Chain A
Amino acid sequence: DVKVTQSSRYLVKRTGEKVFLECVQDMDHENMFWYRQDPGLGLRLIYFSYDVKMKEKGDIPEGYSVSREKKERFSLILESASTNQTSMYLCASSLPSYEQYFGPGTRLTVT
């Protein structure tokens, strides 16, 4: 059974702080993704990675960066958190061109 875990379910940070969100998958999937979910906007892709040390920008990469040093781990970094980054963040993993499996999400609040 595929398992995708995220480091925190809830997180509260202050404006300007550096924030790290971590995602780990145990199915040896090549692809990993970070989305943010906001009401009425669906899931929007922030960054994705096809392989270790590889990353590609999604539709809304501004204000975010990522790191993938190991195949099973994909980190999302908010260099300087802002209030408009308050959102639900979802990580996902998949084999190429197959179903994506999602983590439980991290609800981030930036005050």
Chain B
Amino acid sequence: GENVEQHPSTLSVQEGDSAVIKCTYSDSASNYFPWYKQELGKRPQLIIDIRSNVGEKKDQRIAVTLNKTAKHFSLHITETQPEDSAVYFCAAMLTGKLIFGQGTTLQVKP
């Protein structure tokens, strides 16, 4: 089955710096890769997603890149703000199921 590895598990940056979170997946048939943000005590919410026919997608300060050959995808957050502090999960979809990474706790220091 699919396996998703996510790194790093924790990330601390200064406000205004960039943050990068990386994920690898094992099954080349995976075709949809969403990223979720979970603030403390709240439900995970989708922040950006990418499908396997696209290499990069950007939405304001957030971007996701996908390398199908290497089977990895990354989340890039630029000009980080304190409200970006949260746990971020990557996921890969295979046969309708999402397999999640272990999560990255991002702390943005003012």
Residues of A that sit less than 8 Å from B by CB: 31, 33, 35, 40-45, 48, 50, 58-59, 90, 96-97, 99-100, 102-105
Contact = CB atoms under 8 A, between A and B. Distances in A.
A105 B100 CA distance: 17
Given A42-B103, A97-B32, A99-B49, A50 B43 contact: no
B89 A58 contact: no
A41 B89 CA distance: 11
B101 A97 contact: no
Interface of B, secondary structure class, is strand
A92 B98 CA distance: 11
Given A90-B44, A99-B49, A45 B97 contact: yes
18 contacts: A33-B97, A40-B103, A42-B89, A43-B44, A43-B100, A45-B98, A48-B96, A50-B96, A58-B97, A59-B1, A90-B44, A97-B93, A97-B96, A99-B49, A100-B34, A100-B98, A102-B43, A104-B43
